[in-house]
Amino acid sequence: MERWKIIELLRNAERDIEEGEKLLATQRRAVEELERNGEATSEAADLLRTFEESYTRHLAERDRLRAALNLAPPTPDINQMSEYAAP
């Protein structure tokens, strides 16, 4: 895969992680509030577990992309390539 594509996917993964952190915090607060109020938490807790699993997958994807980025050849600078350079 080309380096620019890996960078694009990495940006998306990092955005997903940031959004996931917000979702996790919101859902944790919801579960805590339900517990404080003595209400049933099973559905909210199940949703929290789903968010945690998704978040874990996003972290793994980010780490995989970071590793791939270290292995990908550098993206050539089109201005430095002799066949594309202005005369």
Q: Could you tell me if residue 22 is inside a domain?
A: yes
Question: What is the Cβ-side half-sphere exposure of residue 9, based on CA atoms within 13 angstroms?
Answer: 18
pLDDT tens string 50-75: 999 999 999 999 999 999 988 766 66
Write down the pLDDT at residue 1. 81
Q: Which residues contact 10 (CB under 8 A, 6 or more apart)?
A: 62, 65, 66, 69
Say if 62 falls within a structural domain.
yes
Answer whether residue 76 is part of any domain.
Answer: no
The predicted model scores a pTM of 0.76
Based on the structure, what is the number of domains in the chain? 1
Q: % helix / strand / coil in the chain, to the nearest 5?
A: 75, 0, 25
